[in-house]
Amino acid sequence: MARQVRTGAKKTARVLAVTSGKGGVGKTNVAANLAICLSAAGKDVILFDADLGLANLDVLLPVKIRFNLAHVIAGKRRLAEIVQPGPGGIRLVCGASGITQMADLTEVQRQRLAQEMTQLEYKADVIVIDTGAGISRNVLGFCQSADHTLVVTTTEPTSITDAYAVIKALNQGTERLKISLLTNMVENRDQAQKVYQRLAFAGERFLNCAIYDAGYVLRDNHLSQAVHQRKPVVLAFPRCPASYCFVALAQKLIRAGKKEPAGAGFFRKVINWFF
């Protein structure tokens, strides 16, 4: 696939964090399929697995992860060596449990890691961050450093409540964040709209924040079939209902990105967050 040729001043990647209030809502599936759809739209995409301690992209995707960020921290590999090709033209970085070790790094190690990680921002158009679930310090650090955070929920009451908890936690800082909501595994559009309207109303009334509507992904048996095949559904079944939803999501985020400034110092923000 042809990529845009960069000329002149280097531009940093736009960073999208994909997160959720609880596990089991399809967050990693969303991140992987979104990354592939962005790639299909002509973007140079890196998918960064930051689900610390529970990294599972190698389970969902037909890839074998040999090295992760822990090897970079230990000085055993350069960051460029752990970036590997993935399906659909994307590239992958596995975070594993490496970032949980950052509190024990020396100042020299921190600076080296910051320099290594910052280089990624000049090697892609978009970096999709698959965070962990919940409101841990690790999750909030990635989301609050990103240009745009996509919160994934389902129609289940507990999932909606946990999504609100994430949005509330993200709004505790002084900086206003761009937050969008994606409702996964819905039966129809009306069902998704009810979830969005409920959370958007709560966000505006109690948190004084705007929550944007990223759309929805329909409940689709092709998704579970694709997982069993270890293939993203947009590649395994490109014409199924869920795949069309992922394409629509990617197009919506591309349009939104044209109105947002390019990312600036994402990984330095993340590293600073931990100290």
For the chain, give the mean pLDDT.
87
Mean pLDDT throughout 48-55?
75
- pLDDT (average), residues 250-268: 76
Residue 259 pLDDT class (50, 70, 90 cuts): low
Higher pLDDT, 203 or 272: 203
Residue 7 predicted with pLDDT over 90: no
Backbone angles phi, psi at 91, to 5 degrees: -120, 150
> CA–CA separation, 121 vs 232, rounded Å?
25
pLDDT at 4: 42
Give residue 71's pLDDT band: very low, low, confident or very high (50, 70, 90).
confident
Query: Is the pLDDT score of 275 beyond 70?
Result: no
Exposed, middle or buried: residue 38 (CB in 10 Å: 0-12, 13-18, 19+)? buried
* Cβ partners under 8 Å of residue 122, min gap 6: 10, 11, 12, 13
Contacts made by residues 57-60, CB under 8 angstroms, sequence distance 24+:
57/28, 57/32, 57/92, 57/94, 57/130, 58/94, 59/230, 60/28, 60/29, 60/32, 60/227, 60/230, 60/232
**What is the enclosing helix (H) or strand (E) of 17?**
strand 14-20
User: What is the percent of the chain where pLDDT is above 90?
Assistant: 57
Least confident of 153-167, 235-249, 252-266: 252-266
Cα torsion at 104, 109, 112, 116 (round to 10°)? -40
Domains of the chain plus CATH, in order, are 14-260 (3.40.50.300)
Span 86-143, pLDDT tens digits: 999 999 998 765 555 655 667 777 777 777 778 888 889 999 999 988 998 878 888 9
Query: Which pLDDT score is estimated for 116?
Result: 77
Q: What is the pLDDT of residue 3?
A: 44
